[in-house]
């Protein structure tokens, strides 16, 4: 069943050692891909894409899965795009996956933080994918630990530091 997507979907990709740059180059050339960047964590690459519907996203996933050096991926389709500030001028940023007992409340609280660049509602093991920017690693850590993790209804977070293409 085809579902219309709204906003930017995020796909995290795990690749074989030594294949991050090659995979980034390949992914950046794909239709619908708005950006692809290296991340630090369970996965190696974060892809942001403007897929019009679930069929386009599944097609992209199939292409990615066929790359011989891809070891796994996790998709977070953009079902709701609550806030999009697009202030990507921060030298440090991260994708934060958030599980919440009350996503609407968590989103309302996230919208109050000026360093939150994007909030995407999704399904699966996380309810929200937030992109957070900061001037320093310490500012990013404090935002995630002291502000995001302490928000009412936030059950858990997982953070992937992003390394944007310079």
Note the pLDDT tens digit of each residue in 47-74: 998 888 888 988 999 999 999 999 998 8
Domain count along the chain:
2
**Whole-number Cα distances in Å, 3 to 22, 58, 59, 127:** 31, 11, 13, 17
**Same domain membership, residue 92 and residue 61:** no
> Average pLDDT of 3-16?
86
**Same domain membership, residue 85 and residue 46:** no
**Whole-number Cα distances in Å, 109 to 74, 95, 112, 132:** 26, 17, 5, 13
Using one digit for the tens of pLDDT, what is the confidence trace for 70-85?
Answer: 999 888 887 665 444 4
pLDDT at 42 (0 to 100): 87
Phi, psi of 60 (to 5 degrees): -65, -45
**Same domain membership, residue 88 and residue 63:** no
Q: Identify the bridge partners of residue 14 per DSSP, sorted by sequence position.
A: 72
Picking from 76, 92, 125, the residue at the C-terminal end of a domain is: 76
Q: Which one is predicted more confidently, 91 or 145?
A: 145
Using one digit for the tens of pLDDT, what is the confidence trace for 93-121?
Answer: 899 999 999 999 999 999 999 999 999 98
**Same domain membership, residue 84 and residue 149:** yes
Give the pLDDT band (50/70/90) at residue 166.
very low
Query: pTM above the 0.85 mark?
Result: no
Task: Name the residue range of residue 123's domain.
Answer: 80-163
- Kindly state whether residue 4 falls inside one of the protein's structural domains: no
Nearest to 38 by CA among 164, 146, 123: 164
**Same domain membership, residue 47 and residue 89:** no
Nearest to 2 by CA among 83, 78, 57: 57
**Same domain membership, residue 86 and residue 35:** no
- Kindly state whether residue 84 falls inside one of the protein's structural domains: yes
Supply the CATH number for residue 93's domain: 3.30.70.920
Q: Output the six-digit token pair for 116.
A: 């939150």
pLDDT at 8 (0 to 100): 83
**Same domain membership, residue 106 and residue 59:** no
- Kindly state whether residue 3 falls inside one of the protein's structural domains: no
Residues above pLDDT 70, as percent of the chain: 90
């Amino acid at each position: 069943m085809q579902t219309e997507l709204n906003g930017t979907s995020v796909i995290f990709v795990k690749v074989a050692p030594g294949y991050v740059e090659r995979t980034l180059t390949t992914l950046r050339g794909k239709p619908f891909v708005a950006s692809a960047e290296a991340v630090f964590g369970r996965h190696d690459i974060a892809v942001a894409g403007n897929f019009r519907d679930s069929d386009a996203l599944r097609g992209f996933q199939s292409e990615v899965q066929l790359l011989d050096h891809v070891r796994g991926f996790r998709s977070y389709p953009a079902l709701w795009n609550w806030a999009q500030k697009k202030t990507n001028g921060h030298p440090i940023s991260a994708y934060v996956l958030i599980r919440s007992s009350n996503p609407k409340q968590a989103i309302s609280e996230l919208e109050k933080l000026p360093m939150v660049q994007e909030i995407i509602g999704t399904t699966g093991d996380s309810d929200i994918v937030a992109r957070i920017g900061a001037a320093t690693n310490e500012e990013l850590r404090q935002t995630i630990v002291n502000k995001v993790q302490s928000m009412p209804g936030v059950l858990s977070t997982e953070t992937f530091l992003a390394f944007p293409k310079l």
